[in-house]
Amino acid sequence: MGGFLSFCYRQLTVKPKPLPSNTSLKGKTALITGANSGLGLEAAKQLATHHVSRLILTVRDAEKGEAARTSILEKTPNTNVEIWTLDHEFYDSIVAFQQRVSTLDRLDYALLNAGVKKMEYSTAQTGHETNVQINHIGTSAVSFAVLRALRKTAHQLNAPTRLTIVSSEGHFWIPFHERKAETILERMDDKATFGHQMQRYYTTKLLNVLWTRNLASKVPAEEVVINTVNPGFCYSGLHRHESTGIIKIFLWAFGWTSAQGGHCLVDALVQHDGSHGKYLSDQKETAPSAFVLSEEGKTAETRIWDETIALLQKEVPGVNMSPFV
């Protein structure tokens, strides 16, 4: 897995399936970040059809969130859909989100789907490169925010809850030269390292895989099952910053629908009992890239964890990272 021909073959031959029709999520609470459109919204719609009792959609734009809520209620009018604002680019937003999550009486599922694919170098409000800020730093901070609520629910129910972080098969395809820098995340803020087209985006998806594996190693599977998922190459607003037309050609030739991508996300979130710290692709457990599994990859995994913790402690002291620090 991970080669271009393998990618093309699977995109053409694999047909993602929805959850079994008899799967009931009645009584459960699910939270999805980046859920106002694309795969996040499709995942939300599918959870609603399986009678999830409370569905929390986090969005940057509340108006777009209400439009998403309306589209869900058109088919599943009895679903309790809540719209929460969350912007990975602003630390105050992440801290406020954490405080709100702490008030939940239960949280069974958290799908961290929010992300961006910037094709040209830019910096976020925090000063970090935008892909790195939103896809890695923001997602890592949000993972701590939801983890406390997930663990609390697991203890109350004496059953594991679920945390799934969205990555990409693209993590196979990048050289990750930044791993050789004295400080990886600082080096990734350097414009000179941005690379071409989707290279920086895919590097942040590698960081998602490394982060998920290390986080899972610190949380018992009996409390929270933590995995990362590749949703496949799908029609989605994620591609809105691509202007060359190449992506449109590939989508026409190989792309899955947003609904099929949603199938992959929901499958990873709800299915696969017994998995933990795994990379899920094509709706099954799959080995991540050879780099991730190598000794060098394990070293990078530890460094990314340590650097991210240090960064969050310095820049976002309001984010509660206990018991990890």
Q: Annotated active-site positions, please?
A: 168, 201, 205
Find out whether 224 and 155 touch, Cβ atoms under 8 Å. Answer: no
Structural tokens at position 93:
């937003």
For residue 146, the number of C-alpha atoms closer than 13 Å in the C-beta half-sphere is 28
As a whole number of angstroms, the distance between CA 186 and CA 300 comes to: 14
What are the E-state strand segments in 17-53? 29-33
User: Can you give the length of the chain in residues?
Assistant: 325
Structural tokens at position 314:
């310095």
80-85 and 109-112: which strand pairing? unpaired
What are the E-state strand segments in the chain? 29-33, 54-59, 80-85, 109-112, 161-166, 224-230, 279-281, 284-286
Q: Of 33, 108, 34, 36, whose CA–CA distance to 72 is shortest?
A: 36
As a whole number of angstroms, the distance between CA 174 and CA 84 comes to: 34
Find out whether 230 and 169 touch, Cβ atoms under 8 Å. Answer: yes
154 CB-near residues (< 8 Å, 6+ apart) = 160, 161, 222, 223, 224
As a whole number of angstroms, the distance between CA 127 and CA 271 comes to: 38
Burial 198-234 (b: 16+ CB within 10 A, else e): bbbbbbbbbbbbbbbbbbbeebeeebbbbbbbbbbbb
